[in-house]
Structure formats: structure tokens, C-alpha cells
Structure 1
Amino acid sequence: MNSTCLITGASSGIGRELALYYAAQGWTVYAVARSKDKLDELRRQQGAIHAVVLDLTDRDALRSCAERLHAEGVVLDLLLLNAGTCEYVDVNDLDLTAFDRTFAINFQAVVSSTKYFMPLLKASLAPKLAIVSSMAHFFPFTKSQAYGASKAATSYFADTLRLDLAGSGISVHLIEPGFVDTPLTQKNDFTMPFLLPVQEAAKRIYNGLQQGKTRLRFPLRLSFMLKLLSMLPYGLRNKVAQRMKQ
């Protein structure tokens, strides 16, 4: 029997590549995004992909979608919450709506999706809940107050979720990538060390989840570098962060 997954943020970037990769491996894929046109294009490339047009920040629509999938008898073996956004802010004129938008999709939508889609996992023999966060919260980066804080919240949510779901049969997996070449990162105007092609990122996520890894961080060189920086004495760490800002 084929395995089934639901992937959010599937219209572009990592989510789109994951949908294609899982479908190519024989999975039935429910691809979730707001753009019907982009989802239709995805379906034309892979017939095993089912388009689910949905705004994850609309909780009523999200609940209705989950109820409809349940009524259709959909059982998920993997729920992969990948949808995300990034907005940089100016500390001298903090855009509060940028914080609202960033947290709405990077954190609140993850919580809401967990609440409404997780019941679809319970009939699976080996259910997995995977949440995509970022390494951005490991170290303070300039103008990243909204993005980094939202990813810190997301990682904490995943770790505590794993704790409280222990014994339920649902395994929780946290994915914290570094820089991946996507339409989102292509907007950056700074050097992105160890930038990975999106196809490679999708492959690493697929293989890591198949191996049952509870935390995926890649590339390892960037992870190691940021870990070392985070271990510096607080005052020295701040000085390094200031130099990196320039």
C-alpha cells in the first residue's frame, strides 16, 4: 500500500521540491498552498499530487479542509509542515505588521495545522509529524528580529510537542536547514555561506525522515560554525555579531 503525505507551502521552494520528490518515490502527496495556478502546474508534472488550495492563516478554512480530508478517508503517514516566509525589519521603525505576517505563517499556522491535521495521522502504522524551522535562531543576525524569533518559537514548539507526544505513536521531527536556493532566499542581498540547491535540500529531508532522525540540520558545516559562535561568552558573541553586521 502506498504511503501518503501532506506538505504545506508546496507552491514554491523547498515545499514544491518535496512534493515532487515524494511523488517520484511513489507517495500519494497532498500539496497545500494558496496559489491554485502553481498547484495546478505541480499536478501536471506529477499525477500523484493532489492540490489543496488553502490559506493556512485562515483557521476556519483549515479546520474545514481537515474535516473534508477526514470524511474522504484520507490517512496521513507523514504531515510535513513547511510553509514559511521571511521579512526583514528596520529596528529604527519596527513594522509591527511584518511581525504579524511572519508569525502568522511561520508559527501560528504551524500550531493550527498541527491541531487540525494531526488527527489524520492517528490511523497510520508509523505516523510522522515533521516541522521545518531554520538555523536562523541559533545566532543574532541583522534585521532578522521577526524571522529569527518566529523560527525560535517554531523549534521550541516542535521539541516540546515531541515530549508530550511520546508514547502516542506519532514521532516528531524538527528540520532546521541553513541557506537553500529558493525564491525566498534569492531576494537576499548578502552572501549566503554553504548555499544548497533546493533539490539537494529536499533529498536530505526525505532521507533523514526515512531514517527516522528526530532533528535534521544541514549543511553540517554551517550548523557547526553557528554552534561554535553560540558557545562564545555572551559579550564576545555580541561583538562577533556586530562585526558580521558590517
Structure 2
Amino acid sequence: MAKICLITGASSGMGKATALRYANNGWQVYAVARSTDKLAELAAQNANIKPVSLDVTDSVALASWAAALPAGQKIDVAILNAGTCEYVDADDLDLAAFERTFAVNVQGVVCCTRYLLPLLNTGSHPTLAIVSSMSHFFPFTRAEAYGASKAAVAYFADSLRVDLADTDINVCLIEPGFIDTPLTRKNDFEMPFLMAPEKAASRIFDGINAGKSRLRFPRRLSFVLKALGLLPYGLRNKLAKKMKQQ
């Protein structure tokens, strides 16, 4: 029997590439996103993909979908990838932008976790993978909403792993750098070590299969940001300010 993977944010970018990577390797894939049209296009590329039109912030719809699954249906890998990014201005913080960003990036992850945990195929070492970002490693300009939401998600994943330590569920925290997606294409700044979504999908597929609890890629960007994080706090702040002015 084919293993089952569920991926949110599967209609484009890294989520779409990951859905195809799993499907092309013989997995049955529940591809979750809001866009019915894009999901239909994705499903047409591989018969192993089952489109699921859902908003990850809609707890009622998520609960209904989970309850409607065939009796005994279990998920081997769940990848909570859906996310959004909005930049804000410190002198006029857009509260609605914070609400939208946290609704998807944080509350959406919590909501999916709530309804997917009981569906994980315990007994076969299932994985719950949560996508954060390297953005929370360093204070970038105008990233107050996005970076803070990804920091919250990373803490949530690490804390959840502790509380699930007595089960066989692997909680995998995924912290990508810049991936070439519709979201990043809106950026008007240089994105070092930009990675193709297909390559990111390969890292995710291989890392989860290897039972990793944390995935960071591209590695070069990870090394740079971790090194910056080791700087004295005052020096790090000065460097962040200088980067903003460039």
C-alpha cells in the first residue's frame, strides 16, 4: 500500500514542487491549498495527487475534512508549508498585515496540527514537518510581521517535539532561505543563494526520509546567518542597521 503525504500550500512554489516530488516517488498526496484551479492543474500532472481545497485558517473546514476521511485513513507525512509574507513600516505599523500574516503562518500551523495529529500513522514513525524560515535568525528591515511569525512557528515546532517525545512522531522543523517562488519574486532586494523550488523539494524529501528533526537550506546561507547570530548583540544591531541603509 502506498504511503500517504499531506502538504499545505501545495498550489505553487516549494509546496507544489514537494507535492510532485512525493507523487513521482509513488506516494499518495493530499495537496492542500485555497486555489481550486491551481490544484486541478497540479492534480492533472500526476494521478497520485488528490486536490484538497481548504483554507488552513478555517478550523471548521479542516475538522470537517478530517472527519470525512475514510475510516482508518492515516497519514505518514504531513508538511505544513502554507505561508504568506507582508512587509511593514515601523513608523506606521499595519495591524491588518500582522493579523493576516500570523493567521496563516502561525494560527494556520496550529490549526492543522490540531486536526492532523490524530491522523498520523503512529506505529510507523510518521513525520509532522513544519515550515519556518531562516528569516528569524537575523533582524531584517521591514520584516517585523513575517520574521516574528516564523520565529513563533520555530518555537512551536521545538516545543511540540518535546511534548511528543514519548511517541514515535518525528517533528521536523524546516527552515529554508530564499526559494524562487511567487512570494519571493515580489521582493525588490538581492536574495543570496536563491534556490529553485525543485531543489528545495529534494532536500525536504530526502531529509524527512532520513528522519531529520531540522532541515536548513541552502547551507551556505545558513552558515552566514548563524555566524551573524554569534556576534555581540550591539555589533549585530549595527550591522543590521548598515544593511538597511544599503
* TM-score, scaled relative to structure 2: 0.98
Q: Paired residue for 1:47?
A: 47
- Structure 1, gaps ≥5 residues long: none
- Cα drift, residue 124 of structure 1: 5.1
Helix, strand or coil: the match of 1:159?
Answer: helix
Q: Paired residue for 1:126?
A: 125
- Structure 2, gaps ≥5 residues long: none
Q: Distance in 1 between matches of 2:87 and 2:104?
A: 15
Runs of 4+, deviation exceeding 3 Å: none
Q: Distance in 1 between matches of 2:79 and 2:182?
A: 20
- Cα drift, residue 122 of structure 1: 3.9
Query: Structure 1's 77 and 124: CA in aligned 2 closer, same or farther, altered over 3 A?
Result: farther
Q: Paired residue for 1:229?
A: 228
**Correspondence 1:31 to 2:25:** no
Once the two structures are superposed, the pairs formed by residues 1-246 of structure 1 within 5 Å of their partners are 1-69=1-69, 71-123=70-122, 125-246=124-245
**Contact 2:105–2:150 (8 Å) recurs in 1:** yes
Q: Distance in 1 between matches of 2:235 and 2:10?
A: 40
What amino acid is aligned across from residue 175 of structure 1 in structure 2?
I
Query: Structure 1's 228 and 28: CA in aligned 2 closer, same or farther, altered over 3 A?
Result: same
Helix, strand or coil: the match of 2:68?
Answer: helix
Q: How many residues align?
A: 245
Taking every aligned residue pair, what percent have the same amino acid on both sides? 63
Query: Structure 1's 60 and 7: CA in aligned 2 closer, same or farther, altered over 3 A?
Result: same
What amino acid is aligned across from residue 59 of structure 1 in structure 2?
S
- Cα drift, residue 117 of structure 1: 1.0
What do residues 53-80 of structure 1 show as CA deviations (whole Å, max 9, x unaligned)?
Answer: 10111111111111112x4532100011
Q: Distance in 2 between matches of 1:230 and 1:208?
A: 24
